[in-house]
Chain A
Amino acid sequence: GAVVSQHPSRVICKSGTSVKIECRSLDFQATTMFWYRQFPKQSLMLMATSNEGSKATYEQGVEKDKFLINHASLTLSTLTVTSAHPEDSSFYICSARNSGSNYEQYFGPGTRLTVT
């Protein structure tokens, strides 16, 4: 149990286009999901907290108009990278918090975004 999926696992897009990444909790409901960014050989940096039915909370330095987050249901959060640039190329990881299991976070497998 407690599986989190991400789609796509890998995406290549052209500079200036937008790309959407989905994060789903498959067998539990998650009122809160988190989006992280990981550069090569670096740690995970929290970008934003996604709250079901309300606006996301962004970390300092993260542009909310650049990284649009929607958490429309208890099992799905989406991250849209708008007007992508090569410097947005990174590994994006989501996690979902299981409020019924001591608030443990379960991580998705990540999405590799490459902007050309």
Chain B
Amino acid sequence: AQRVTQPEKLLSVFKGAPVELKCNYSYSGSPELFWYVQYSRQRLQLLLRHISRESIKGFTADLNKGETSFHLKKPFAQEEDSAMYYCALSPPIKAAGNKLTFGGGTRVLVKP
């Protein structure tokens, strides 16, 4: 069974400090991995996906297959980064379904 674990429910950091959100997964195969973000009173939106290898809004995430992790990092947090972050997994794109399994979410609070 596929599962996504985000061990931290809340991360509170000061502006300018680094932030790292942990995500571990279990899946038999090579899944697609994503980070979604939900700002206050807004809909869920894609932040980044591992196959893109992009840096979005200063965030990066590295897939570590050995540790089955996909941690999200930003070297200098900004107040506008305060939001709910969800790590998610899906079977490979070409597989049937493309269903997303979400982690429990981590709330990030960036203090001034």
B43 touches A43 (CB 8 A): no
Consensus secondary structure, chain B interface = loop
- Chain A residues touching B, range: 20 to 34
Q: What 0/1 pattern do residues 45 to 65 of A give for CB contact below 8 A with B?
A: 110010000000100000000
Q: What 0/1 pattern do residues 4 to 45 of A give for CB contact below 8 A with B?
A: 000000000000000000000000000010100000001111
B104 touches A107 (CB 8 A): no
- In the bound assembly, the distance between CA atoms of A78 and B104 in angstroms comes to 26
Residues of A near B105 (CB, < 8 A) are: 42-43
B17 in the interface, Cβ–Cβ < 8 Å?
no
B44 touches A93 (CB 8 A): yes
When A107-B43, A107-B45 are in contact, do A44 and B102 touch as well, CB less than 8 Å? yes
Given A32-B98, A44-B100, A103-B93, 15 more pairs with CB closer than 8 A: A42-B105, A43-B102, A43-B105, A44-B44, A44-B86, A44-B102, A46-B101, A93-B43, A95-B100, A97-B98, A103-B98, A105-B100, A107-B43, A107-B45, A109-B42
**Residues of B that sit less than 8 Å from A by CB:** 42-46, 86, 93, 97-105
